[in-house]
Structure 1
């Protein structure tokens, strides 16, 4: 009898444990569903605020959605949308902080390439003056290079390559600006270093031709004519039809510009004589 009672108690205890476990599981599922519903509501509210242009409230709601259910698939999406909200109205510092946090918290997220692209844009769009904004230029270039290296097949990498070309033009422009300043001040070595930097580091930019010409000028001025000829030949080989090649040519041939003007004058004079002669012929007819 005691054995039967013992077995009965064990069965009752087992049933109670199973019942409690099921109850907890049901409660957990309900709680999870409630959390997901709250996340969706916060996310939708963030989207509506973003559409209205209230980006600060939108970012707040997206952050709220992320915190409510950090384990859900909506968490990284919400974090990225919070960053985009700040970026959309030029709150670049806030956007950068959000994005830097994002890449640390969600290093394996499927849209990580977009996060790095947006980070590059935040720095890129702050570039105003190449003479002052060196930090923003360098940061933007770093982020775009990282994106191209790690996500080469994406559409964001294609645009990043285009923007790096523009950044390089900007950096080359800065080097040329400083180089011209040193040249005017007759600080030959610093001027040479700046013009050489353009050729060595930014050879695909629009400033390469001028940099070569300036080196011809500097070396010729300080008496290093062989060096000047070397850069003149390089300029002629690559850009023979450019105005900078003509200017470099005139450095060696002081009569070049004078002869060029005389030639134009003679052509104009000959044309005038020919026109007058034709006029006389037509009168005789």
Structure 2
């Protein structure tokens, strides 16, 4: 704050102002500072008391009262966080983008980018819905990992990326199964190939390989079918999906199914409950 006062005094001297005029400017500046701090404290209190709507309003007020202060970018970020808590994701995103433009040298950019990613992440629904939030969230989480690798935000971003990969793979599987029902074989093959090639670390890769075995065999492309069967067997030999693929080539093969009686089920449930005791 002293540096600001010194600059203001220096500018006033250059413009030929009197000492009295300089004192008036300093008093106004101090009053503006106090108003900003008061609004900031009020906003923070409201946030802690569970009133994020009022909190967002007061943080933005604090920023506007003294936009050149060190507290202004903090107020802008906390306003965005308050919007986020209310599920006002469009408002949070708009304010975060404004913050990045208005305060390009602020030290909290890692948090801003992470919060942008979280806003997109929170709007993700299931594999049947629009994939735009999935892609935007994944790309922003990747940005955090690549540009802020030593932060806690990067650690959580890696975890979120894995979750998103699973959801995207689930979406491709859903579409692939849909095309099978419609007997659109090429469209189905393309979806399952995406899972095998781009999402091979997800839980859906085994089923995707089996579907490729199944469809290619049905189309008479036995060499192609055998290729995917070999790949499935090499990587997931004990998988149930491999057994199903094996049955495609060996019709007489019977898949054994182990039945769990009610007593076994109770034992499993009890073991599960103990994990949380």
Question: TM (normalized to structure 2)?
Answer: 0.83
Alpha carbons of structure 1 residues 97 and 20: separation in structure 2 relative to 1, 3 Å:
closer
- Find the counterpart in structure 2 of residue 153 from structure 1: 150
Per the TM alignment, residue 192 of structure 1 is displaced from its structure 2 partner at its CA by 0.5
> Is the counterpart of residue 100 in structure 1 residue 97 in structure 2?
yes
- Find the counterpart in structure 2 of residue 181 from structure 1: 178
> Is the counterpart of residue 50 in structure 1 residue 39 in structure 2?
no
For 2:164 and 2:206, locate their aligned partners in 1 and report how far apart those are by CA, in whole Å. Answer: 18
Q: Which moved more, 1:120-129 or 1:19-28?
A: 19-28
- Find the counterpart in structure 2 of residue 204 from structure 1: 201
Q: Secondary structure at the match of 1:41?
A: helix
Alignment of 1:191-230 (within 5 A): 191-230=188-227
For 2:171 and 2:46, locate their aligned partners in 1 and report how far apart those are by CA, in whole Å. Answer: 41
- Find the counterpart in structure 2 of residue 282 from structure 1: none
Per the TM alignment, residue 104 of structure 1 is displaced from its structure 2 partner at its CA by 1.2
Q: Deviations over 1:48-93 (max 9, x none)?
A: 2222322222111111111111110010000001101111121111
> Is the counterpart of residue 143 in structure 1 residue 153 in structure 2?
no
For 2:19 and 2:212, locate their aligned partners in 1 and report how far apart those are by CA, in whole Å. Answer: 83
Which runs of no fewer than 5 residues in structure 1 stay unpaired? 1-15, 265-285
Q: Secondary structure at the match of 1:256?
A: coil
For 2:217 and 2:121, locate their aligned partners in 1 and report how far apart those are by CA, in whole Å. Answer: 39
Q: Deviations over 1:80-117 (max 9, x none)?
A: 01101111121111111111111111122111100110
For 2:110 and 2:64, locate their aligned partners in 1 and report how far apart those are by CA, in whole Å. Answer: 23
For 1:74 and 1:96, locate their aligned partners in 2 and report how far apart those are by CA, in whole Å. Answer: 20
- Find the counterpart in structure 1 of residue 231 from structure 2: 234
For 2:159 and 2:116, locate their aligned partners in 1 and report how far apart those are by CA, in whole Å. Answer: 16
- Find the counterpart in structure 2 of residue 78 from structure 1: 75
Question: TM (normalized to structure 1)?
Answer: 0.81
Per the TM alignment, residue 184 of structure 1 is displaced from its structure 2 partner at its CA by 2.2
For 2:18 and 2:145, locate their aligned partners in 1 and report how far apart those are by CA, in whole Å. Answer: 51
The correspondence for 2:108, drawn from 94, 97, 111, is: 111
- Find the counterpart in structure 2 of residue 164 from structure 1: 161
Alignment of 1:11-90 (within 5 A): 22-90=19-87
Aligned length: 246
Residue pair 2:127, 2:174 contacting (<8 A) in 1 also: no
- Find the counterpart in structure 2 of residue 271 from structure 1: none
